[in-house]
Amino acid sequence: MDSEKADTPEQSKSGPQVMLRLTNVSKTFLSATQTVDALQATNLEILEGEFAVFFGPSGCGKSTLLNLIAGFEKPTTGEILLAGEPVAKPGPDRLMMFQEHALFPWLNVIDNVMYGLKRHGKFRFKPKMRAQKARELLRMVHLEEFEKASIHELSGGMKQRAALARALAPDPKVLLIDEPFPGLDALVRAKLYAELQEILITTHKTILSVTHDPSEAACLGDRVFVFTGRPGRVKAEIRVDLPRPRDMSDPKLAEFSGRIMSELEEGAKS
Amino acid sequence: MSRANGKSYKYYVLGFYVILFSAWQLLYTFGAIPEYLFPSPLQVARRLAELGTEGLLWPSIKATLVRMVIGFAVAAVIGLFIGLLMGTSRIVNSCLKSLFLGLQTLPTAAWVPVSLLLFGLKDEGIYFVILMSSMPAVAIATSDGILQIPPIYIRAAKTLGTSRLAMPFTVILPAALPSIVMGLKLGWTLGWHGAVSAELIKSSVGLGFLLSMGRELNDASQVIGIMVVTILVGLLLDRFVFGLIETRIRRKWGLDQDQDK
């Protein structure tokens, strides 16, 4: 599962490679009383190093799609390829960050960050390198002074940053973020957006996130996929070609967020 | 719990015991209770000191404790394992839950006749009683703790690449730890009950043995004294072994604070 070895035919071409390819992916939930088309057949490609945002109201299939990519759910039809390999079960190559931080309270901050490194991969049997890598990541999210802290001692924003460090530790090919930073106040969020973009610039991570906040979508996304509900499907795709790091107060950003929102409203009317 | 305000009530508690023991002593002094029925605190203390100098008290405490440590360790390991199976498999849980809840309602002393039938007067019988007394509590607390784990920890562990083998040791058991420690604490107390009950009949050394010896000698002071010792040793372990572990875990997890979210 070494990321270096996962060469695909696409990588011989020039330009950014396709990291994630979804072909005809759909999901239908069957219950005793009804069937729900959570997601209609979806085709999309996410390029390496791209930040894609799934935007839409609740129940539009965006979280379902994220769960399919993470491997928590199996698609009813279609195929998901990560760097050419079909996706089966959850794994650290498609690491998911949850709405709640999901940090383990029985471990301190640095042990949480090292958790994934202990499970597999090149750091598995190298405790010293593991600690070094974890400290590096904690520095990146500005938590280097809190490595021995218990989880409950961190503030909400610090918890999310620790969760981000833990998610980046196993060096996932794609980082999946289910609603980055909910329940935090606007100031903390603005700071976290800035940090996330900083990390994006330095690590060139491929990131997929889900949100129902149009300004967040415009601030973070290279491409924003607008979803509509019942049945869930991708209605439009908007490319946000603003330079990074982007500032939440940038009027151009507000323009994009307006465009994203109007796409959604058009979808609601039809 | 009231541990946080425990300090401010310390003197009340102290006062309560002073009054309790003085009342006991006074009832005796004024002849309200006949001496052969119920001894005075001073007589109890004197008898305990005698037992100590006769070399009976300390070896008995030690014998009971050693039996407890061994029997409880076995019970804890088995209880954890069964609890893990119950917590991770619905089938095992639905089969064993009622059985273990049933076993837990059984008074620990009820295991003594069975152990006499199975092991005669051998020491193994005492271990058997300890095991059967404490193991169900550990198993039930472990499985309850596991069933209450927020699913998000399991999802997070899966996405971080936790194998099926590593899952119980790195996530399931640690996540259930607060509940497991409560189960171990309860299991220890029940095992302590079982050990003393079994020693009443089966042993020639131990706190239970001193109790039944006191009864045979018609020595109320010894009976009451050993009861007090049994209470004190039990309390001491509860406070200083399990209490400290529990406090440490609660502090690490932040369970004693108000959630400021």
pLDDT, tens only, B234-251: 999 988 888 899 988 988
Q: How far is A4 from chain B (nearest CA, A)?
A: 18
Decide if A200 contacts A222 (C-beta within 8 A): no
- Please list every residue in chain A whose beta carbon sits closer than 8 Å to the beta carbon of residue B257: 152
Decide if A195 contacts A160 (C-beta within 8 A): no
Q: Using the beta-carbon criterion (under 8 Å), do A92 and B152 form an inter-chain contact?
A: no
Nearest to A139 by CA among A160, A123, A162: A162
CA B95: distance to chain centroid? 26
- Please list every residue in chain B whose beta carbon sits closer than 8 Å to the beta carbon of residue A96: 155-156, 159
Nearest to A102 by CA among B151, B146, B254: B151
pLDDT above 90 covers a percentage of chain A that reads 51
Mean pLDDT for A195-218 is 89
Alpha helices by DSSP H, chain A: 62-70, 109-119, 127-140, 156-168, 186-203, 214-220, 251-269
Under 8 Å CB-to-CB from A181, ≥6 apart: which residues?
A: A157, A160, A188, A189, A192
Q: How far apart are CA A113 and CA A135, in angstroms?
A: 9
Q: What count of Cα atoms within 13 Å lies in the side-chain half-sphere of residue B59?
A: 10
Indicate if the pLDDT at residue B14 is higher than 50.
Answer: yes
Q: How far apart are CA B32 and CA B40, in angstroms?
A: 11
Decide if B135 contacts B168 (C-beta within 8 A): no
Decide if A109 contacts A148 (C-beta within 8 A): yes
| For A88, nearest residue in chain B (alpha carbons) | B159
| For B165, nearest residue in chain A (alpha carbons) | A119
Q: pLDDT grade, residue A16 (50/70/90)?
A: confident
Residue window 192-211, chain A: list those with CB within 8 Å of chain B: none
Q: How far is B157 from chain A (nearest CA, A)?
A: 8
Indicate if the pLDDT at residue B70 is higher than 80.
Answer: yes
Q: Which pLDDT score is estimated for A185?
A: 83
Mean pLDDT for B63-83 is 96
Nearest to B227 by CA among B63, B48, B72, B11: B48
Three-class secondary structure of residue A75 per DSSP: coil
Q: How far apart are CA A231 and CA A54, in angstroms?
A: 15
Q: How far is A133 from chain B (nearest CA, A)?
A: 16
Q: Using the beta-carbon criterion (under 8 Å), do A106 and B162 form an inter-chain contact?
A: no
Decide if B134 contacts B72 (C-beta within 8 A): yes
Kindly give the interhelix angle for A156-168 and A109-119, rounded to the nearest 10 degrees: 20
pLDDT above 70 covers a percentage of chain A that reads 93
pLDDT digits (tens, 9 = 90+) for A19-31: 999 999 999 988 8
Indicate if the pLDDT at residue B23 is higher than 50.
Answer: yes
Q: pLDDT grade, residue A188 (50/70/90)?
A: confident
Indicate if the pLDDT at residue A73 is higher than 60.
Answer: yes
Q: Which pLDDT score is estimated for A195?
A: 86
Q: pLDDT grade, residue A199 (50/70/90)?
A: confident
Three-class secondary structure of residue A98 per DSSP: coil
pLDDT digits (tens, 9 = 90+) for B96-150: 999 999 998 899 999 999 999 999 888 899 999 999 999 999 999 999 999 999 9
Q: pLDDT grade, residue A208 (50/70/90)?
A: very high
Pairing mode, if any, of strands A174-178 and A77-82? unpaired
Least confident of A133-147, A201-215, B6-20, B201-215: B6-20
Q: How far apart are CA B231 and CA A170, in angstroms?
A: 52
> Average model confidence (pLDDT) for chain B?
89
Q: Which pLDDT score is estimated for A11?
A: 46
Q: pLDDT grade, residue A114 (50/70/90)?
A: very high
Tell me, what DSSP letter sits at residue A152?
Answer: G
Which residue bears the tokens 């802290």?
Answer: A149
pLDDT digits (tens, 9 = 90+) for A74-112: 999 999 999 989 998 999 999 999 988 899 999 999 999
Q: How far apart are CA A105 and CA B174, in angstroms?
A: 9
Interface pTM (ipTM) of the complex? 0.86
B169 touches chain A (CB under 8 A): no
